[in-house]
Amino acid sequence: MDLNEKPDSYIYPYACHENESELCRLELHSLFGYAPRAHFFMESGTAIGANRSPFISMEMKVLGRCGSLEGILTLAEKIDLKGKTFKVKYIKNGVPCSYEDQRQLERTVGARIRGRAEMRQPDILFGLLHDGESWRLGVCHPTDPIWQRHKHKPRNYSTGLSAAMARSLVNIAVPATAGIRAIDPCCGMGNVLIEALSMGIEIVGRDLNPLAIRGARVNLAHFGYRHEELVSIGDMNEIDGHFDAAILDMPYNLCSVLPLEEKRAMLSSLRRFSDISVVVSTEELEPELERAGFQIQGFAKVTKGAFVRSIWVCHS
C-alpha cells in the first residue's frame, strides 16, 4: 500500500475547555461546514491542516474504513514500511474502550504491519479509530501549535485576546484562506494580525491609539513580519476600499462604556467595508448589529471568571 496516495478522508480529533466550548463549536462549524457532533472528532474530504485550529490535536489521513476490525487487520497486512519504524495509536473519541483494550488493539493492528515497532520516536504514527459503527486506519500528523509561541509577545494588553482565541476568530472569519483580503480595524497589539499572517492570510490592521500601533509593530517585527504596510494609525470610520472579512474586537474599558453613538458609527462603517464580520464585545450588541443592517449567522460566548466575551458572525 502506498501511504502517499490520496486519502479517503481526513480525521481531526479536537478538545476544549468548557469555558470555550461555544467558541470551539463555532470555529469548527466555520472550518468544516457542519456542526460538531458528540464523538470528539471532525471528518473532511479535504485537508484542513493539523495546525489550523487551537482545538485540533492532529490530522489523520485515512487509509481505509471498514465495518469490522478484521477488515482493518487485512488493510494493515498490505502495509510494508521497508524497514521504517512505526507506532499505532488508538484515537479516543468518546466511545467506551478501556485502557487495556486500547493497548491490545494497538498491538493487534501493529502485529500485521511490516515494519519495526518504535514507541518513542517512530518514523510513522498510525491512528486507529472506532466510532461505534466503523473502523478507520490512517497516518497521523500531530499539530505544531505555533500559536503557543505567539503567547510570548514583547507587547500585550492584560485584557487582550489570547493567541488561541485570536486564531479561532480568524478561522471563523476566514475558513478558506485563498484570495481573501481581511482587516482588523481596531487591531490593538496585533494578536489577530499575527495569527492571520501565520496562516498565510492577507490582512491589514488599523487603530486610533498610537501606543497600540507602536506595540503592534514591535510584535509583528518580533515574529518576522514586515509591519510598515500592515498597520496604520486611523479611525475605522474613515477606512476606504472593501474587504472580504473583518475581525472587530470592540474597544472597551473596565471603568467606562463606549458611547452608543460611537458604537453605532463603528458598526455602520464595518458593514460598509466588509462582507463578513466577526464582532467581539464585552457588552450586548445584538440589537445594534441588527439596527446596522447585519444578518447574524452565528454566536458564541467565552468566559474567564466573571469576564465574558460575546462573539457574533455577521453578514452584510
Tens-digit pLDDT string for the chain (316 aa): 778 888 889 999 999 999 999 999 999 999 999 998 767 999 999 999 999 999 999 999 999 999 999 999 999 999 999 999 999 999 998 889 999 999 999 999 999 999 999 999 999 999 999 998 999 999 999 999 999 999 999 998 877 899 999 999 999 999 999 999 999 999 999 999 999 999 999 999 999 999 999 999 999 999 999 878 899 999 999 999 999 999 999 987 655 578 999 999 999 999 999 999 999 999 999 999 999 999 999 999 999 888 899 999 999 9
Alpha-carbon distance of 6 to 9, in angstroms, equals 8
Which residues is 231 bridged to in the sheet?
A: 205
- Which segments of the chain belong to CATH 3.30.2130.30? 10-142
Instruction: For residue 179, give the amino acid letter.
Output: G
**pLDDT at residue 227 in the model:** 79
Beta strand 181-184 with 135-142 is: unpaired
CA distances for 159 relative to 43, 82, 188, 196, 210, angstroms: 34, 53, 11, 20, 18
Cα 29 → chain centroid: 11
Given the candidates 3.10.450.50, 3.30.230.70, 3.30.2130.30, 3.50.50.60, the CATH classification of the domain at 10-142 is 3.30.2130.30
Instruction: For residue 113, give the amino acid letter.
Output: I
**pLDDT at residue 254 in the model:** 55
Alpha-carbon distance of 86 to 68, in angstroms, equals 23
- Which segments of the chain belong to CATH 3.40.50.150? 146-315
Which residues is 246 bridged to in the sheet?
A: 183, 277
Closest CA to 250 of 292, 220, 222: 292
Beta strand 181-184 with 202-207 is: parallel
CATH class of domain segment(s) 146-315: alpha beta
CA distances for 71 relative to 6, 87, 139, angstroms: 20, 19, 17
